[in-house]
Amino acid sequence: MKKQSRMYFFYVFGIFLVVSALQCAEQQKYTYNRFIVGSACEITYYARNDSLATIIHQEIDNDLVRIDSLLNRFSDKSLVSALNRTSRVQAPADIVYLFELSDSISQVTNGLFDISIAPLMELWGFYKRESKVPDSAEIAETRLLADYARIAIKGDSIIIAPDMRVDLGGIAQGYAADRVSKILKEHNVTSALVNIGGEIVGIGTSPKGRPWRIGIKHPRAEGIIETVELTDQALSTSGDYEKYFIINERRYPHIINPKTGFPAHDFVSVTIFADNATFADAIATATAIMGPVDGLKFLDSLNIRGILYFEHNGELKRAEN
C-alpha cells in the first residue's frame, strides 16, 4: 500500500472512530424493572432520549402484561387456565406459534420437554409449595397424563384432551425475553441486556464495545461460579437450587422427567447458549433431565453450546460442549 493510501485509510478510520464515539456518547442508559411473567424482569438499554425511552418502556410493559395474561397458569383469567378448564381455546397467532414450537422441541428432545407436565407438577406439590413424595402408584397413573402428542392445533384453536393440563413455565420466560428484544430492536436499540427470570438476551455489546458479561450463579454457595460473555446471543440457566424441597437428605427440584414422573436428579446447573431465549429456555429444561452424559451427547448432536454442573462422589463437576 502506498504511503498516501495508508494516510487516507487512517484518516477515514479515525473519522469512523470519532463518529462511533459520539454516537455512543449520545446514548443514555434506561432501565425497566417489574415482577411479571412469574419472575423479576430486569432490562437495561441505551436510547437517544427520554421521549423514545418512554415509548419503549410502555411497549415493553404492555407486551409483558399481555404475555402474562395469556400464559400465567396461576391466573384464572389467563388463556392457559381457560384451556385447562375447557380443553379448547382460540389463541393469538404468536401463542399458536409458541405451542407449535413447544411441540417441535418436544419431538427433538424425545418428549423430555413437555408442556403437558402440569398434572405431575401438581402431584409433587410444586404449585402449592407442598413438600411431599407421592407414592409410586400415583406417579405411574399421573405420568400417563403427560403426553405432548395429544395437544392438537387447528388453525387458531388449541385443543387438549379433557384429562390434560398444560404449563408453559419451561418456555414462557424465554419467549418474553425474546419479545422484549424484538421491541428494542424495532426502535433501533443496539445495546441492551434483557433478563427475565434468568432467561437472558444480550443485544449488541455493552456501551464500552465489549461483550456483555454474565455471571452464572454458584449452585451450592453464594455468589457466582463463573462468568460468560454474550454478544447478540441468548442464554438460559436451569438449576436444582431454584425451586426444590429436600426430604430425607434428597433434593427434589421442580424440573420433572415426563418419562418417569420423578424430578430430575442428575444435574445441578445447566446453561444453554442459543440465538434466542425461547429455544434456550426449553433446551435447558430438557438437558437438565438428560443429565451430563446424555445431555452432552444431545447438545453435541445439535451443535449447541452448554455448560453443565453436576455432582459426582459428592463433588461438584463441570462439563462443557
What per-residue confidence (pLDDT) applies to 143?
96
pLDDT at residue number 4? 45
pLDDT of residue 13: 37
> Among 53, 22, 279, 287, which Cα is nearest to 171's?
279
Given a contact cutoff of 8 angstroms between Cβ atoms, the answer to whether 277 and 238 are in contact is: no
φ/ψ (deg, to 5) at 216: -90, 125
What is residue 21's predicted lDDT score, i.e. its pLDDT?
44
Cα 212 to Cα 19, 47, 189, 232, 235, distances in angstroms: 22, 17, 15, 9, 12
Beta-bridged to residue 215, according to DSSP, are 227
pLDDT of residue 18: 42
Give the residue carrying C-alpha cell 425511552: 53
Query: 288 and 268 in contact (C-beta within 8 Å)?
Result: no
Helix (H, G, I), strand (E, B) or coil at 30: strand
- CA atoms lying within 13 Å on the CB side of residue 276: 15
In contact, 285 and 271? CB cutoff 8 Å: no
The set of long-range contacts for 54-60, using a CB threshold of 8 Å and a minimum separation of 24, is 55/187, 56/30, 56/183, 56/184, 56/187, 56/189, 57/30, 57/32, 59/183, 60/32, 60/180, 60/183, 60/184
State residue 225's pLDDT score: 97
Can you list the positions of beta strands (E) in 37-183? Answer: 39-47, 88-90, 152-154, 157-159
* Whole-number Å distance between alpha carbons of 178 and 296: 25
CA gap 89, 79 in Å, rounded: 7
Domains of the chain: 27-48+185-320 (3.10.520.10)
N- to C-terminal Cα distance for the chain? Answer: 43
- pTM of this prediction? 0.90
Residue 252's identity, in one-letter code, is: Y
User: CB–CB of 298/266 below 8 Å?
Assistant: no
Contact between residue 32 and residue 59 where contact means Cβ atoms under 8 Å apart: no
Per-residue pLDDT of the chain (321 residues; tens, 9 = 90+): 444 444 433 344 344 334 444 454 578 999 999 999 999 999 999 999 999 999 999 999 999 999 999 999 999 999 999 999 999 999 999 999 999 999 999 999 999 999 999 999 999 999 998 889 999 999 999 999 999 999 999 999 999 999 999 999 999 999 999 999 999 999 999 999 999 999 999 999 999 999 999 999 999 999 999 999 999 999 999 999 989 999 999 999 999 999 999 999 999 999 999 999 999 999 999 999 999 999 999 999 999 999 999 999 989 999 999
Q: What is the CB neighbour count within 10 angstroms for residue 6?
A: 10
Cα 136 from Cα 218, distance rounded (Å): 33
For 160, the grid coordinates are: 387438549
